[in-house]
């Protein structure tokens, strides 16, 4: 059985994703409340101009029915929670559950213990092992492509890990993301740049009471190149856009 | 081109990406590119693109998933140049 992103998923993996999605939906009032409480109350986080960010996401989402892959810069281990929070309110995501992005967390960080496995299962996650078997990575990318083709939103960090320099690194662009874009017809990319005021470099979690700035930009990457070069070209377009957004972020703060 | 020639060229291409230089001394067909040579998985794509240039072949995305060892790379290259 092939597991390439361009291939259709087998019945088993398709069914398991449907079941996971429905379990996540049923549990979502609980998980949304828990995450909101942790981010907002326990950690005291704020997102600058949150309403505008959510409006921007809604505008991009309703502009087209084409698949929407969310690609973001990556500095902390809870970026995916912060980005989802910035993209929509818990109530809106409950009503538009497909818009709540699936995530592809690193297995050793988020799926080591049983409770972690259960938690990320209920949070629409498909874990991946960084630097692990390429066959397994391809199977995960095939799931991602399938989800996108079926109207689900997926969040991926195209740098394939938290930036060690604290800045967007174009050279770290993961070609697998380009493969997904290439294999999903008409795939749009929502580039999201998120950074806290005190986030100088990468870390496990942002400082308590942190204030975040978020920017969103829609991109439809295209390439004339084939094979791996095409995939690399596509993902580099995405990461370059993130780098431009980062430059705008710092220019705006001077 | 003989398998030995392909092996030597593959190792030469891999060398700049290898973090575990000691493993290069005992490199063989069975040597795992990521686990033994400690090539960064993100850089494996650059390695494969260098294979394309060096051997004048085109390697599909899906074929890259089959490359785990030096021998896998040699087999893939030989299948494309045959």
CA distance, residue A72 to nearest chain B CA (Å): 17
pLDDT category at B41 given cuts 50, 70, 90 is confident
Q: Which one of B37, B41, B53 would you mutate to disrupt binding with A, by most A Cβ within 10 Å of its Cβ?
A: B41
CATH 1.10.1200.10 fits B3-81, yes or no: yes
Specify the pLDDT at position A1: 43
ipTM confidence = 0.74
CB proximity A225 to B under 8 Å: no
Specify the pLDDT at position A7: 67
Q: Which of residues 73-112 of A touch B (CB under 8 A)?
A: none
pLDDT tens figures, A172-192: 888 889 999 999 999 999 999
Q: Is the pLDDT of residue A54 over 80?
A: yes
* Helix (H/G/I), strand (E/B), else coil: A69: strand
Question: Where along chain B do its domains lie?
Answer: 3-81
Cβ–Cβ < 8 Å for B75, B59? no
CB proximity A137 to B under 8 Å: yes
| Residues 6 or more apart in contact with residue B79 via CB below 8 angstroms | none
Specify the pLDDT at position A226: 87
* Rounded Cα distance, A182 and A6, in Å: 8
Residues A16-38, mean pLDDT to the nearest whole number: 96
pLDDT category at A82 given cuts 50, 70, 90 is very high
**Structural domains in chain A?**
11-198+206-253 (3.40.1130)
Name the pTM for this structure.
0.88
pLDDT tens figures, A86-141: 999 999 999 999 999 999 998 888 777 888 889 899 999 999 887 777 788 889 99
pLDDT tens figures, A100-112: 999 999 888 877 7
B-chain residue closest to A180, CA distance: B61
Q: What is A98-155 written as a DSSP string?
A: GGSPEE--BHHHHSSSHHHHHHHHTTTB--B-TTS-HHHHHHHHHHHHHHHHTT--EE
Radius of gyration of chain A (CA): 17
Residues B26-45, mean pLDDT to the nearest whole number: 90
């Amino acid at each position: 059985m092939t597991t390439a992103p361009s291939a259709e998923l087998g019945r088993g993996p398709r069914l398991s994703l449907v079941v996971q999605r429905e379990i996540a939906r049923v549990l979502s009032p609980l998980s949304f409340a828990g995450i909101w409480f942790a981010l907002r109350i326990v950690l005291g986080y704020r997102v600058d101009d949150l309403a505008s960010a959510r409006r921007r996401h809604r505008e991009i989402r309703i502009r087209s029915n084409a698949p929407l892959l969310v690609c973001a810069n990556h500095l902390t281990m809870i970026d995916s929670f912060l980005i989802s929070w910035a993209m929509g309110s818990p109530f809106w995501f409950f009503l538009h559950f497909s818009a709540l992005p699936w995530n592809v967390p690193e297995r050793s960080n988020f799926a080591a213990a049983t409770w972690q496995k259960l938690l990320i299962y209920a949070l629409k996650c498909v874990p991946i092992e960084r630097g692990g078997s390429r066959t397994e990575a391809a199977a995960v990318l095939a799931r991602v492509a399938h989800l996108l083709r079926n109207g689900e939103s997926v969040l991926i960090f195209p740098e394939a890990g938290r930036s060690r320099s604290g800045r967007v690194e174009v050279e770290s662009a993961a070609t697998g993301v380009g493969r997904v874009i290439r294999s999903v017809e008409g795939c749009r990319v929502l580039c999201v740049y998120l950074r806290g005021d005190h986030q100088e470099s990468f870390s496990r979690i942002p400082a308590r009471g942190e204030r975040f700035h978020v920017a969103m930009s829609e991109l439809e990457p295209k390439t004339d190149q084939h094979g791996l070069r095409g995939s690399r070209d596509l993902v580099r377009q995405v990461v370059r856009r993130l780098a431009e957004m980062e430059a705008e972020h710092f220019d705006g703060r001077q | 081109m003989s398998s030995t020639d392909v092996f030597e060229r593959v190792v030469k291409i891999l060398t700049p990406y290898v973090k575990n230089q000691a493993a290069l001394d005992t490199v063989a067909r069975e040597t795992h590119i990521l686990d033994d040579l400690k090539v960064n998985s993100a850089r494996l794509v650059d390695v494969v693109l260098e294979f394309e240039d060096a051997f004048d072949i085109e390697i599909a995305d899906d074929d890259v998933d089959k490359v785990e060892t030096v021998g896998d790379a040699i087999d893939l290259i030989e299948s494309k140049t045959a």
